[in-house]
A and B are shown apart, each in its own frame.
Chain A
Amino acid sequence: ETGVTQSPTHLIKTRGQQVTLRCSSQSGHNTVSWYQQALGQGPQFIFQYYREEENGRGNFPPRFSGLQFPNYSSELNVNALELDDSALYLCASSFGTMAGELFFGEGSRLTVL
């Protein structure tokens, strides 16, 4: 177990709705990255937060947004949900942006109907 916790673990939404996913990073870690993993695919980078600032973003539209709080926990928000947003959303924490290991949470499995 990595010490990274995500919530909720599973959720079902309908098209057009909004969702907020949460991640508590491992103690002492100041960097959080979010990934989307569709079935049978590798994790796709959404964005990264370092010390409360977004410092990198992948090829995802603006309806994917996030926050990092002073305790370094993080949220991923997705607006106007589409069917293709159905996936496992993974959060990974690390100490700094050059760490030799990313610690993953168990993920939040989102189903959009």
Chain B
Amino acid sequence: GQNIDQPTEMTATEGAIVQINCTYQTSGFNGLFWYQQHAGEAPTFLSYNVLDGLEEKGRFSSFLSRSKGYSYLLLKELQMKDSASYLCAVRAPSGGYQKVTFGIGTKLQVIP
């Protein structure tokens, strides 16, 4: 089976940096996604990691360590609009096909 763990809630201050961790246990691995989801809206794509290391995209960075089954999403210069749920998802083989499994999501609250 596939298991993905991430904290359910975090709070951070506007202008600060926050790191959201994700650990996973899967049989095989073919990529890890991070999505942002505002309440009542569709998830929007933030990043995709398939190799170890850090991917930077503006204020957002994502890190992957396949040997540790670990990823984090780093958000810099936090803005109020960053208050949202952040979903970690892993693609892994399952019964002959590629399945993308999502974690429960980390609800981030940015406070002034």
Contacts and interface: CB of A to CB of B under 8 A. Distances in A.
Interface of A: 2, 33, 35, 40-45, 48, 55-56, 58, 90, 97-98, 100-107
Given A98-B30, A100-B48, A105-B42, A42 B98 contact: no
A56 B103 contact: no
**What bracket does the count of chain B residues touching chain A fall in?**
20 to 34
Contact of A45 (B41, B43, B100, B105): B100
Interface of B: 4, 30-31, 33, 35, 41-45, 48, 50, 87, 89, 91, 94-105
At the interface, is chain B mostly helix, strand, loop or mixed?
strand
A111 to B, nearest CB: 13
Contacts of B104: 40-42
A75 to B, nearest CB: 18
Contact of B102 (A2, A43, A48, A103): A43
B100 A101 contact: no
A103 B97 contact: no
Given A56-B98, A90-B43, A106-B42, A43 B50 contact: no
A56 B94 contact: yes
A2 B44 CA distance: 9
B43 A48 contact: no
A101 B33 CA distance: 8
A62 to B, nearest CB: 16
B88 to A, nearest CB: 9
B30 to A, nearest CB: 6
A43 B35 CA distance: 11
A90 to B, nearest CB: 6
B102 A35 contact: yes
Contacts of B4: 42
A33 B100 contact: yes
Contact of A42 (B48, B97, B103): B103
Contacts of A2: 42
